[in-house]
Amino acid sequence: ETLRRFCYVLGLLCLKHSLMFFVTSASGRWDIPEFIGSLIVDEVQVGYCDSNIRRPELRQDWMRTFIKDDPQHLEWYVNKCIENQHFFRATIDNLMNRFKQSVHILQQMSGCEWDDETGESRGFNQYGYDGEDFIALDLQMLTWITPKPQAFITKLRWDTDKARLDDNKYFIHLYPDWLKKYVQYARSFLQRTGRITQPEIHTNVILGHENV
């Protein structure tokens, strides 16, 4: 545990940082919630929500301070958590009908990486289906790419939805700005208190909004 905290402190002081949303939605499984979402900053879980608790939980003291200073920020996550539960439920129903299967797991990983030294950032948004890569967004071309012939219908649908593609500019502009603020708050908290919490990270789980 001490080593893990030490590694996290080093992460706060390093030049490259990451903001990641992990979402897992399962159908036909009774051992996990139907929807699970996590917010990860520099490989540490900062926020969590699932279909049982309905409202995001903050897992870091510095994030609680951030939300206290900017309450509307939490409302964005509350709305996104609720919206994504509806989206993933509808998506899995769609895929079940398409592939004629009874048990499915749909996952999304989205967010950005930011280089503190060069100022460069890179966004990403990708989905996995039943443990395999399904579809990903090319943020340079604003088009969806997929290694799976089964996902071609999804690609065509998403590529023609220009409003939804425009929404993905979050990954180019908004998320890097958030990440910079998160890192600033985390560093400030560490400097003031000399401590940081380190909860368990569940990287099989959080927030997406594309429509299959």
pLDDT of 126: 95
Res 5 pLDDT > 70:
no
pLDDT tens figures, 36-95: 999 999 888 999 999 988 789 999 999 999 999 999 999 989 988 888 888 888 888 888
Res 24 pLDDT > 90:
yes
12-26, 62-76, 124-138: least confident range: 12-26
Res 207 pLDDT > 50:
no
Q: Where are the domains of the chain?
A: 2-193
Find the mean pLDDT for residues 139-150: 91
Find the mean pLDDT for residues 129-151: 91
pLDDT of 13: 56
Res 107 pLDDT > 50:
yes
DSSP string, the chain: -HHHHHHHHHHHHSSEEEEEEEEEEEES-SSS-SEEEEEEETTEEEEEEETTT-S-EE--HHHHHHHHH-HHHHHHHHHHHHHHHHHHHHHHHHHHHHHT-S-EEEEEEEEEEEETTT--EEEEEEEEETTEEEEEEETTTTEEE-S-GGGHHHHHHHHT-HHHHHHGGGGTTHHHHHHHHHHHHHHHHHHHHS----PPP-TT--------
CATH class of 2-193: alpha beta
Whole-structure pTM value: 0.81
pLDDT confidence band for 200 (50 / 70 / 90): very low
Whole-number average pLDDT of the chain:
82
pLDDT of 204: 43
